[in-house]
Structure 1
Amino acid sequence: MNKRLLIVFLFTSSIFVRGQEISWSLQKCFDVALNNNIDIKIQQLEILRSKKNYTHPLLEMVPSVGLTANHSYNFGSTIDPNTNARVSSDIQWDNLNLNASVNLLDFSNLSTARKNKLEVELSKADKEVIEYEYKLQLLEKYFEVLYSQEQLKILKEQFKNAVYNLERIQKEVEIGSKPKSDLYDMQFNFSQEENEILISEQLYEYQKKELFQLMNDNETNTKNVILEPYFVTNSNENNIEITNNPKLNFAEINYKSSKKEVGVLRGDNLPTLSAFYGFSTFYSAPINRPDVVVDDFQTQFDNNKYHQTGLQLQIPIFTGFKHNRRIAAAKIQTERAKWQAEQEKIKINQQVELEKTQKNNYLQRNEKLKNSLDLAEKMFTTSQAKFLTGKTDAVVFSTIKNQRLNAEYEVLKNDLLFQYTSVRINLLTKNQL
C-alpha cells in the first residue's frame, strides 16, 4: 500500500471512529454493573425475606385467638352412679370453644425480635460487601483496559513518525543518497510497529469485552467505547481514617447478632407472664330416647355458657443440660465473631497502610520518570536529526526510538497506578470513589 494512502486512511478512519465514540467513566461502569449484577439482586431478595421475618415487639402482644367447634356422637352404655344401673350413653354432642391468649412478658420473644431486626441489618451489610468486592474487581479491570487504551494511543502516535521516516528513506534510496540496507532496516521496523499496533488493538478490544461481560452488559457495542481516566490530585495523605468499610461493618453487625442469639437462649430460662380468656358452651341430647325431655339447642347454648380469664406465670425450674450446652456454644460463637471482627479490622488497616505506601512510592517515582522521558525525548530529537543527515544508521535510531517509547510507557503506567491506588484507598476507607 502507498504510504501516503496509508496515512490518509489512518486519519480518515480515526475521524470516523471518533464520531461514534461513546465515553464511559468509572462511575458509569459502577452504576451499570451494580444494576445488572445477579448476586446483588439475589441478596436484595434476602433483605426482603429478613424484613418479613422481623416483627416489632409490640406486635408480639397482639392476642392469638382460636375458635373450636365440633359435632360428635357417643355410642355405648355407662353406669348411673345414682341407681348403680347400666343406662344408655348414646348422646349427640355439640361443643363450641373460643380461646384467646397474649404474652405480656416473654424475654425470649423480645430477644428474638431484636435478633431478627439485626438480621435485616446483617442482610443489608452482606449486600454492601457483595457490591464492595464487585467494585474492586471492576476497578482492577477498568484500569487494565485504560492502560491498554492509553498505550495504544502512544503506539499510534509513534507510528506517524515511522510512516514519515519510511517515506523519506524510500525517496533518498531512489536518488542514491541512502543505501538500501537502511531501507530494509526501516521496513523491518515499520512492519514490527504495524504488528505491535495490531496485537495491542486486539488485546484492547478483548479486555473491553471482558470488562463489559463483568458488568453483565451485552447491549453496548464495545468497539466504540473509550474509557475516561480517573484524575486525582497528587496529594500525599498520611492520616486516612476508615469511616465506612462494608466488610468491617458486616463483621461488627455479625458480632452483635451473635450476642443476641445468647439472649434468645437465655430467655427460655426466664419467667413468662401471659393472660388468657376462654369461652365455651355446649348442647347435648340422647339418641333414640324419646322418653327423655331436654331443652332445645338455643336454650342449652345460652344456659351452658362458661367464661374463664386469668394470668399465668410460668417459671422454668430446669430446662435440661442440653439447653445449657447450647447457651455455652452460643457464647463461644459470640467470642469467635468478636475476634473475627477484630481480625477484619486489622486486615483492612494493613491493606490501607500498604496502599498508602504504594501511592507515596508512585508519587516519588513520578518526577524521576518524567525527567527520564524528557531526556528520552531530547535523545530522540537529536537522533532523528542525525538519522536524516546520515550521521547515524537506522538500527541506532530505532533503538533510541524504542527507549523513548519505553519511557512513555513507564510514565503512563506510574500515573495510572497512582490513580488506581487512590481509588482503592477511597473504596477501602469510605466505599466510594
Structure 2
Amino acid sequence: MNKIALFILLFLIIINSNAQENTWSLEQCIALGLENSLEVKIKQIEIKRTQKKHNSIANNLLPTVGFDANQSYNFGSTIDPSTNGRVSSNIQYDNFFLSARMNLIDFNKIATSQVTKLDIERAKVEQEVLENEYKLQIAESFFTALYTQELLKIQETQFKNAKLNLERIEKEESIGSKPKSDLYDMQLSVAIEEKNIITTKQLAQIQKAQLFQLLNANQMDIESCILLPYLNAESIERNEGFSNPKLKLASLTYELGQKRIKQFRGNNLPTLSAFYNYSTFYYKPLNQPNVIVNSFSNQFADNKNQQVGLQLNVPIFNGFRNAKNVKALKFENEKEKVALNLEDLKLKQQIEIEKEKIKQITFLKTKLLVIKELNEKTFQTSQSKFEAGKIEAVVFSSVKNQFLQAEYDVLKNNLQYQFTILKLNLIKYDQL
C-alpha cells in the first residue's frame, strides 16, 4: 500500500514539474525566436560572406608575383640570341620571366579597404535592425495572448460565483421562494458567461499558436502553455542618447557613402609602385648537329637579367566617367544624410508618442482603480441583496457585468502600460 501511494506521489510530482516547464516568459520567447529565426540566420551568413570579402589595407598593398615561361620555334631568318645578329637557321627558344609588383601608395586600394570594413559593420547593424523589429513583433504577439489569458482567469473566477448563485436559485425555486423567471434569468446569465469563456479560450489558443508560429516553434502544447506576466515595468534612462539600430544603420550608410566617394576619387590620384623582374632564356639551333651550344644550366645562369625600379603613374585624362560617378555619389550621399536626419526625427517623434501614452495610461490607471473599487463594493452589496431576494437576477447580472468590465479595464490598462514601457526601451536602447 505504501509503495502504491509513493508511486502515485511521484507520478503527480512528475506531472506537476512538466506543467511548470510549459511556462513561458517574454525573455524566453524572444530568445527562442532569435534562435529559430531563419531571417536572422540569413543575416549571419551575410555577415560571414562580407567578412570574407574584406581585405585589410596591408593585404591590398601586398605584392603580386607572376611567373611566365614560353617555348618557341623560329624558322628561316631569325635573330641569334647569343649574338643578336640575324642568321638564316631554325632555332628553339625558351624564355623564363619572373615578375613582382607592389603598390606603395594607392589611394583607391586604401579607400576600398575602408569601404569593405564598413560593409561588415553595416551587415551587423542590419542584423540588429532585423532582431529589434522581430523583438517588437514577438512582444506585441506575447502581450496580445497574455491579455486574453489573464482575461480568461477573471471570467473563470466570476463564473464560479455565477454557478454558486445558480445553485442557490435552483434550490430556492424548488421550494417556491424564488419565481421561475429568476431561475431563467440566472440560467441565461450562466450560459452567456460559459459561452464567453469558451470564446476566450479559443481566442487564447489561436493567439498562443500565432505566437509560437512567430517563434518557429510549431510543436508546442498550446493548451497547457502558460504565459508569465512581464515583470519589468520601468523605462531605461541613459545620458548618452539613443542606441536605436535603425539610427545606427542610417549613420553607417551615410559614412559608407563618403568612403565610396573617396574610393572613386582615388582613380584620379597618382599610384606609386615598386617592381622587380628576373628573366633568362635558353636557345638551341635545330637540325644543325655541328653547332655547339652551352648546356641548359649554363645558359640559364649566363643569360639571366634582373631589373628593380619604382614606377609613378599619374592619371592625366581618364575620361569624364569617373568625374560623373563622383558627382552622382555626392548626390547619393546628400540623400543618405537627409535619410539620417529623417530617421532621427522619426525616432524622436515615436519616443514622444510612447511617452505621452505612458502619461495617459498612468493617469487613467488611478481612475480605473477607483471605478473598480466602487464596482466591487456595489457588487458585494448587490450579492447580499440578491441573496436576500431584494433585487432580481437581471439587475444583479447587470451589476456583475459592470464589475467584470471594470476588472477588464484595469487589466488592459496594466498590460498596455507594461507593453508601452517595453516598446519604449526597445526603440531607444534595443533592450527589454
Give the Å deviation of 1:60. Answer: 2.4
Partner of 2:265: 266
* Cα distance in 1, alignment partners of residues 214 and 19 from structure 2: 26
1:108 is aligned with what amino acid? N
Unaligned 5+ segments in structure 1 are 1-14
Mapped to 1, the partners of 2:89 and 2:46 lie a distance apart of 59
Deviates most, 16-25 or 38-47? 16-25
Q: Distance in 2 between matches of 1:147 and 1:240?
A: 34
1:192-231 pair list within 5 angstroms: 192-231=192-231
CA distance in 1, matches of 2:421, 2:79: 95
Distance 1:19 1:65 in 2: 68
Q: Distance in 1 between matches of 2:17 and 2:187?
A: 28
- 2:233–2:422 Cα contact (<8 Å) kept: no
CA gap of 1:215–1:234, structure 2 versus 1, over 3 A, is: closer
Distance 1:240 1:196, change over 3 A: farther
TM-score (norm 2): 0.92
Quote the Cα distance in structure 2 between the aligned partners of 1:86 and 1:352: 88
Offset from partner CA, 1:63-82 (integer Å, 9 cap, x none)? 111111222223344599xx
Give the Cα–Cα distance (whole angstroms) in 1 for the partners of residues 237 and 271 of structure 2: 56
Cα drift, residue 181 of structure 1: 1.1
Conserved? CA contact 1:21–1:226, under 8 Å: no
Are the counterparts in 2 of residues 169 and 182 from structure 1 also a CA contact under 8 Å? yes
Output one character per residue of 1:178-201: Cα deviation in whole Å (capped at 9) or x when no partner: 011111111111111111111100
Find out whether 1:289 has 2:293 as its counterpart: no
* Deviation digits for residues 130-167 of structure 1 (CA, Å, limit 9, x no counterpart): 00110111111010011001100000000001110010
When residues 97 and 79 of structure 1 are mapped into structure 2, their CA distance, relative to the original with a 3 A threshold, is closer
CA deviations 1:243-280 (Å, max 9, x no partner) are: 31000000001110000000000001001000000000
Tell me the SS of whatever aligns to 1:223. coil
Given that 1:258 and 1:330 are in contact with CA atoms closer than 8 Å, whether structure 2 keeps it comes out as yes
User: How far apart, in 1, do the equivalents of 2:78 and 2:346 lie?
Assistant: 80
Alignment check: 8 A CA contact 1:17 1:224 kept: no
**Cα offset for 1:399?**
0.8
CA contact (8 A) 1:238 1:356 kept: no
Residue 43, structure 1, aligned to residue 43, structure 2: yes
Task: List runs of 5+ in structure 2 lacking aligned partners.
Answer: 1-14
1:242, 1:428 within 8 Å by CA — same for their partners in 2?
no
Give a deviation string over 1:350-388, Cα, whole Å, max 9, x none.
Answer: 000000000010000001001000111111111111111
Rounded to whole Å, the distance in 1 between the matches of 2:79 and 2:431 is 86
For 2:292 and 2:301, the matched residues in 1 are separated by 17
Residue 276, structure 1, aligned to residue 264, structure 2: no
Distance 1:17 1:194, change over 3 A: farther
Q: Using the alignment, how far apart are the partners of 1:288 and 1:239 within structure 2?
A: 90
Greater shift, 31-40 or 17-26, is seen at 17-26
Shift of 1:59: 2.3
Secondary structure in structure 2 of the residue aligned to 1:92? strand
Change (3 A) 1:323 1:172: same
Contact 2:234–2:421 under 8 Å retained in 1: no
What is the rounded CA distance, in whole Å, between the counterparts of 1:17 and 1:290 in structure 2? 99
Amino acid of the structure 1 residue aligned with 2:386: F
- Note the 1:29-108 alignment, pairs <5 A: 29-78=29-78, 88-108=88-108
* Superposition deviation, residue 22 in structure 1: 2.1
CA distance in 2, matches of 1:173, 1:347: 65
Counterpart secondary structure, 1:259: helix
Give, in whole Å, the separation in 2 of the partners of 1:282 and 1:21. 80
Question: In the alignment, which residue of structure 1 is the partner of 2:3?
Answer: none
**In 1: Cα distance, 2:74 partner to 2:118 partner:** 54
Q: Counterparts of 1:17 and 1:379 in 2: how far apart (Å)? A: 41
Q: CA deviation at 1:286?
A: 1.7
Paired residue secondary structure (2:275) = strand
Structure 1 201/174 Cα, relative in aligned 2: closer, same or farther at 3 Å? same
| 1:317 CA displacement | 0.6
CA gap 1:121/1:398 in 2 versus in 1, 3 angstroms: same
**Contact persistence 2:56–2:113 (CA under 8 A):** yes
Give the Cα–Cα distance (whole angstroms) in 2 for the partners of residues 86 and 316 of structure 1: 40
What is the CA-CA distance between 1:234 and the residue it aligns to? 6.9
Letter in 1 for 2:246: K
Matches of 1:69 and 1:101, distance apart in 2: 18
> Following the alignment from structure 1 to structure 2, what is the Cα–Cα distance between the partners of residues 181 and 289?
133
Q: How large is the Cα RMSD of the aligned pairs?
A: 2.2
CA distance in 2, matches of 1:171, 1:17: 41
SS at match of 1:401: helix
Displacement of 1:219 in angstroms is 3.6
Residue identity matched to 2:125: A
1:31-430 alignment, distance < 5 Å: 31-78=31-78, 88-233=88-233, 242-430=241-429
Query: Structure 1's 174 and 21: CA in aligned 2 closer, same or farther, altered over 3 A?
Result: farther
| TM-score (structure 1 length as normaliser) | 0.91
Q: Partner amino acid for 1:194?
A: E
For 2:9, the equivalent position in structure 1 comes to: none
